Structure 1
């Protein structure tokens, strides 16, 4: 069974990284294969989907897609980044508001919403999107780790802790995460 599991995991990773198959299709195929082979029961295979954190992340991504469709992110970032000439100037203008927002909204959709804006910035100003997105992703993770809903990992940890009887509040992570975010 361990060998079959390893083969399924490697095949799924290969399918996802190739880009030929949508990631969702590759993952669903892997789950079905694991279920048919008998690696795990359907309840075990879909246990992660019942985690409140996973459901919240999925909902946040849907909200992010809706916000992107409105064009508000492009308009705000266009005004915020007007006149920037270097990646450092871009980061100085983006990190404070993005950090604040990421402590209140899950970080994954924030970074997803900034992808089109940074591509537009690259076309307009010649500032490479990759030189902005990676530092922004790190900044959102650091600032987002301060709250329960700020990062995916906090949501998942809270879901696992709750099953053991540990209740985490919205700001349970602040005493440790705030100094780390400021230093980072």
Structure 2
């Protein structure tokens, strides 16, 4: 074994780059792809690797195949193809044994045809939606979904990125390339064993955390209130913008949207208020009482039939769930510091962390990776942030009317 003193300059540069990469990844200094490309750039500039060696991976057939599969999976996600499988994946029964068999078998099969990572990303919101609707704990379903996709990906060469990378390396070294079904005789038994384990009793060992949606919806419903601009346009707050009226940063409450006749307007700082506007807030009762003491604002009254004038968002503006990614700019900041309303074109109504709603004011809560944001936003929010935005959100999905049902009492 050669001594450390015999190592050349290139070897020491490589060691330094590897240590730097590991440290940067542990410290979450930047997105992993940026960190790794930075390390490659250092090796390229210092001459440790040649340009041909540096960019050989980008011409590797396995890497290109993985990229092509993500395109295919993205196309499937944006069509109605998956909805056709809902009756197959999600039966009427809530018994966990038959339920797990019903969705794990198709998941394994699909993971063998497409890459298993986008399969999980596509099925997770659908599974969450079904679990909430049926009252089945999602904690009993997500791990089986993941394992079905992992073992299903082992059934074919294209099912998992690891198989493709290994096949590419073997071909580069002169070995006979693997064919599509060369690994099937290993993957199929593995998938069947995993499915049988969960169906026959393994699900009993999974945690039962219940359904978290009711707690979140109750929190949102309790915190929503409305006030009405009543004075003429010659007196504040009528005629003032949201920022000029001091309605943007209230500490323990924030303006979510403005209802003007049949329109629902996002509460941008430059929005001018008019007489008759209905202002919808999310905040504490103390904040509501302070607002009602301001001249020109009054409490909205119940309808003659006894029903309260619930916020119009339940009928017009959709709600979305967005899970903050570890590489997101939101991590370690508050919504105010991140300028969330302007940058993301949405309003956060609530934050869920580890199955429990965050009770502190959402505007001043420091965000963490994995936080689930309940966002009120226009119809294009999912389209803008679910495609090519995994550095910001792991997942963006409609909340599918849960808040509408909570508010429609």
Q: TM-score surpassing 0.5? A: yes
SS at match of 1:134: helix
Q: Cα RMSD (Å) of the superposition?
A: 2.8
2:187 aligns with one of 167, 172, 177? 177
| 1:9 and 1:30 in contact (8 A); partners too | no
| 2:154 and 2:186 in contact (8 A); partners too | no
Rg bigger for which structure?
A: 2
Change (3 A) 1:37 1:77: farther
Q: Does 1:14 align with 2:27?
A: yes
Distance 1:179 1:138 in 2: 13
Structure (1 or 2) with the greater strand fraction:
2
Q: How does 1:1-184 map to 2 (within 5 A)?
A: 1=13, 2-15=15-28, 21-74=30-83, 76-77=85-86, 80-85=89-94, 88-163=97-172, 164-184=174-194
Distance 2:187 2:76 in 1: 28
1:94 to partner: Cα distance? 0.7
| 2:21 and 2:36 in contact (8 A); partners too | no
User: Which is worse superposed, 44-53 or 123-132?
Assistant: 123-132
Aligned length: 180
Change (3 A) 1:158 1:97: same
Change (3 A) 1:182 1:126: same
Distance 1:104 1:13 in 2: 34
1:155 to partner: Cα distance? 1.3
Unpaired stretches in structure 1, ≥5 consecutive residues: none
Distance 1:127 1:34 in 2: 51
SS at match of 1:166: coil
Structure (1 or 2) with the greater helix fraction:
1
| 1:8 and 1:34 in contact (8 A); partners too | no
1:86 to partner: Cα distance? 5.8
Change (3 A) 1:129 1:82: same
| 2:66 and 2:161 in contact (8 A); partners too | yes
SS at match of 1:169: coil
User: Which is worse superposed, 131-140 or 23-32?
Assistant: 23-32
Change (3 A) 1:13 1:61: farther
Unpaired stretches in structure 2, ≥5 consecutive residues: 1-12, 195-409
